[in-house]
Amino acid sequence: MYLTTDIKEAIIVLKKGDIIVYPTDTAYALGAKFSDKKAAARIYKIKRRPKGKPLPVIAASLTMARKFFKFSPQEFMLAKRYWPGPLSLLLQLKFPISNFQFPILVVVRVPDSEIARKLSRAVGEPIISTSANLSGAGECYSPKEILRQFQNHKYQPDLIFDDGRLRRKKPSTIVKVNGDKIEVLRRGPIKIKIPISKLEIRNKF
C-alpha cells in the first residue's frame, strides 16, 4: 500500500483490477471496478465485511448509472434532483452479468466529488464505493487514519489517492423507493419529507 497524489496513477491501478482508496464527498472509500469479481472479493477481505452485505457503488453521472441500472420515474426524479450529492438509491441491475459480484439490487449514487466521478469516468463504468475502514470501525477522513486502521491487517488496498484531510460529513442518505413513497434505509445529510409526486409538481414550475 502506497500513497499518491497523481490521479493518473490511481486510474492505472483501477484499470489493472487492483484496489484503491479514494476521496468522496463524505469520507474516503475503497474502490475497484464494478465488473471485477476478483477485486470485489478482495475488498470483502480488506474490509472484513460479511459476505452477505452488498457493496455500494458510485457512477460518474446519471447517464452512466442509467446504462447499468433500472430507474422508475420516481427514482429518476430523485436522481435528477439530488445528484451529484449524498443521496444513494437502491436500484435494480439493468441486465444480468455473470461475472458481477453483486446482487440484483445495488446501492448507487453519483457523488459530489469531481475526483470520484473522474475515476469512474476514466474506467468507463461504476466503481465500488464502500467506506475505507474495517467493518465496525469509524469512517476515515485522512490517509493517516487509513494507514492506522490497516497497518497490521493481512489484506490491504494497493494504493491510497491522497487528497489530504476531508471535511467530516455524515455518510450518504440511503433510500428505497416504492411508488411515490420513500423508505429510508440509512439516515444521512439529505432529508426528504414530502411525497415524490409533489417533487414532480415543484420541478415543473
Report the alpha-carbon distance of residue 38 to residue 42 in Å, rounded. Answer: 6
**134: how many CB neighbours lie within 10 A of its CB?**
15
Q: Determine phi and psi for 138, rounding to 5 degrees.
A: -75, 160
Report the alpha-carbon distance of residue 101 to residue 115 in Å, rounded. Answer: 24
Q: Could you tell me which residue, 203 or 66, shows the higher pLDDT?
A: 66
Q: What per-residue confidence (pLDDT) applies to 204?
A: 27
Give the pLDDT confidence of 86-102 residue by residue, as tens digits.
Answer: 999 999 998 765 555 55
Q: What per-residue confidence (pLDDT) applies to 104?
A: 78
Residue 168, exposed/middle/buried by CB under 10 A (0-12, 13-18, 19+)?
exposed
Q: What per-residue confidence (pLDDT) applies to 193?
A: 62
Q: What is the DSSP letter of 172?
A: P
Secondary structure of residue 28 in the 3-state scheme: strand
Secondary structure of residue 54 in the 3-state scheme: coil
In the chain the domains, ranked by start, together with CATH numbers, are 2-203 (3.90.870.10)
What is the arithmetic mean of pLDDT over 165-193? 88
